[in-house]
Amino acid sequence: MKFNRLTPEEERVIVHGGTEAPFSGEYEGNFKPGIYACKRCGAELYRSEDKFDAHCGWPSFDDEISGAIRRLQDPDGVRTEIRCARCGAHLGHVFEGEGFTKKDVRHCVNSISLRFIQRGDSDERKD
């Protein structure tokens, strides 16, 4: 599998399971129509229709593209980590029971783990 080249900060989060600072990511306030893809391998992960503002400092989604996300027990033993199902890139964590949306799920995702493809930008879809 071919991976995209990552900056040292992207590698810290995506490969080594780090977290970017809250309210620092480029997609936290983005609500344009499109798709959010894995920065490492290009797999489509989330649709903009499933994004909502949880006021937590990171992009939040209440659903994923079917089969795109893998859930794992976080090393802290409390949270559930989410990773790209295709390449294993660390995305963030998923929480249930918070009541933010009718689906009652929040995927809390690091912006640095994502690449946004705005609807209509088909020339940008190169994996």
Any idea which residues carry the catalytic annotation?
108
DSSP H or E segment with residue 12 = helix 8-14
Residue type, 46: Y
> Nearest Cα to 41, choosing from 71, 61, 70?
70
**Cβ partners under 8 Å of residue 66, min gap 6:** none
Residue that has been written with the tokens 């937590």 in this structure? 56
